[in-house]
Structures are given as C-alpha cells and as structure tokens.
Amino acid sequence: MALHDPPDSGGADFEAAGASGASDANASDAAAITRSRREPAAFAEIFHRHFTAIHGYVARRLGADAADDIAAETFLTAFRKRDRFDPARGTVRPWLYGIATRLIGLHRRSEGRRYRALARTPAQPFEDGHEDVVTARVTAGGAGAELADALARLPRGDRDVLLLVALADLSYEEVGQALGIKTGTVASRLHRARRRLRESLGGTNPTLIVEETPA
C-alpha cells in the first residue's frame, strides 16, 4: 500500500526519520556482530532482533513443522561464521536470509512436495490489489492451488529470488547479497519467475504487486 503525504505535512521529514531509523538499525546489527567476536553472548541481540522474521520466512516455504529447526540452524550457522560478516554492510538481514535460503535448498524436495500438496487443496479466488496476497497464500495452510502448483514448477533459483522479494521484502541489491549473485541476475530471474507465474495463472500474477526498481 502506497502512503501519500498531504501537502505541507512534513512528509520529507517523515521519510528522513524513517531512513535514519533504518540506518540506526543497520549500525546496531554491525556493532552487535563486531562485539560478538569478542563477547559471544552479544550475538543474542542478532537472534532476538531477527529470529521471528527468519522463522516466518522458513515457515511459509517449508511449513511450520520445519521452521523451528531450520530457523535455529540459520542462527547457529551465522554465529559460527560471524567472523565472515563484513560490518561495513550494516544490516545482517540479507546475510541471514541467504543462510536460511541455502538451508531451505537442502530441503527442496520437501518444499516441492509441500507446494504440490497445497495445489491439491480446494482453489480459492485471488483478491487482486492486496499487497500481502503472496505472503498470505504461501503458508502451510493457505496457498491457493494454482499459485502453489506454479511455485512448485519454478526453477529453484527463480523461486528463491521471487520469494525473497515477496516474503522477505528484500530489495534487488539485498537479494543479490543474500544469494551471492549480481543485481542484474536478480532482475532477470524475478522477471522470468513472474512471467512463468503469469502464464501458469492464466494471465493473473499476484506477485506483480511486489515491485522494486533496481538500485
């Protein structure tokens, strides 16, 4: 949902404040990682700040039963490899989502089976215009049959890009960081995934609402 400020409402100040808040959070992530190299207990800040989001992302892709273990493994892996994180990158979100996505990849057969099972559930009509339609549908119990089947048919790389944008709300640049690919590759994979979904859904592509201009 786009937010529009009325004239003379201080919208510029609001946007500046939002950017400042994001910058502060990024700096806080970097500081916590740096401190955890000397004081391992400091990594708990990263866990508490990001676990819920990572857990939700995994749950929407593999189901709630697998989410606890894989989300926990994501943070265990991050803790063990924290020396590899470059604090200059600021936020750890792309890094954490990248780890989670690679772990999900080890369970790609389970993900495919899950989507195929969801595809056999009674179809529900799409509600065009809802920004969270993909997030709402790609869940253990709520994916539309057509969408689930279309997702199951996507190549893994294309599906990873699509769902990091749709579910994790990452920018093209952040998706590239998460997967270790160029921004242009992110854009081409996302375009291809959306086109295939559109074809599979008979011209209706709910992910078109997730738009971003590459940086």
Taking the chain (215 residues) in consecutive chunks of 10 residues, what is each chunk's mean pLDDT?
Answer: 41 45 72 96 97 96 89 98 92 97 84 64 45 42 66 91 95 97 98 90 56 41
- Spell out the domains of the chain, with CATH numbers in brackets: 14-94 (1.10.1740), 107-215 (1.10.10.10)
- Which tokens go with 190? 């996302």
pTM value? Answer: 0.74
The count of other CB atoms within 10 Å of the CB of residue 197 is 24
State the pLDDT at residue 137.
47
State the pLDDT at residue 159.
92
Degrees, nearest 5: CA angle 195-200-201: 95
Q: What pLDDT digit, counting tens, does each position of 91-100 carry? A: 999 999 999 9
C-alpha–C-alpha distance, residues 94 and 53, integer Å: 12
Q: Phi and psi of 186, rounded to 5°? A: -60, -50
State the pLDDT at residue 215.
41
SS3 for 179? helix
State the pLDDT at residue 66.
87
State the pLDDT at residue 19.
45
C-alpha closest to that of 174 among 53, 63, 73, 8: 53
CA-atom Rg of the chain in angstroms: 18
On whether the CB atoms of residues 133 and 167 are closer than 8 A, the answer is no
Residue in the structure block whose two tokens are 């400091």 = 42
State the pLDDT at residue 47.
97
C-alpha closest to that of 128 among 191, 198, 205, 190: 205
